[in-house]
Amino acid sequence: MRAVAAVDSGQVVNPDGLINQIEGAIIQSMSWTLYESVTFDDTRITSIDWQTYPILRFDAVPDSVEVHIINRPGQPFLGSGETGQGPAAASIANAIANATGKRLRDLPLTGNGSRMRSTREPR
């Protein structure tokens, strides 16, 4: 598995920092999208420790994360702290829909309890 991103942040001051930020955003978004979920009962939160909380583990991290920077000298400096998160989640959801024909609508995209709608078959 690999992840590829192209990022336009206006004039880039620190390319290495920008690449690191986007790589981290993609990995964090993958964890939110595929694993993370706070659990509740009738009175409280039941996910109370990191040993049982579902997060992306190192064995599930992509083999390659490529970040391509679109540097635009002379343009305004743009923030890019969250630019990898929304697109990463949408890309994962679209890949699942493309592979399975099912559109998952709830996070995490496990299929367990998620409402699924076929995109290939009529309702």
Tokens 């000298």 map to which residue?
Answer: 73
Asked whether the beta carbons of 102 and 116 are under 8 A apart, the reply is yes
Number of H helices, E strands in the chain: 2, 4
Note the pLDDT tens digit of each residue in 9-38.
899 999 999 999 999 999 999 999 999 988
Give the three-class secondary structure for 23.
helix
Count Cα neighbours of 40 within 13 Å in the Cβ-side half-sphere: 3
Note the pLDDT tens digit of each residue in 48-59.
888 888 889 999
**In whole angstroms, what is the distance from residue 62 CA to residue 40 CA?**
30
Sign of CA dihedral 50, 32, 93, 69: negative
Domains of the chain listed by start with CATH number: 2-118 (3.30.365.10)
Instruction: Report the candidate in 38, 28, 31 with the shortest Cα–Cα distance to residue 82.
Output: 28
Residue 122 has pLDDT above 80, yes or no: no
Residue 79 pLDDT grade (very low, low, confident, very high; cuts 50, 70, 90)? confident
pLDDT (0 to 100) of residue 47: 87
Give the three-class secondary structure for 113.
coil
Rounded to two decimals, the pTM is 0.80
Residue 123 has pLDDT above 80, yes or no: no
Residue 86 has pLDDT above 80, yes or no: yes
* Percentage of the chain exceeding pLDDT 70: 89
Element (H, E) at 118: strand 116-118
pLDDT (0 to 100) of residue 112: 63
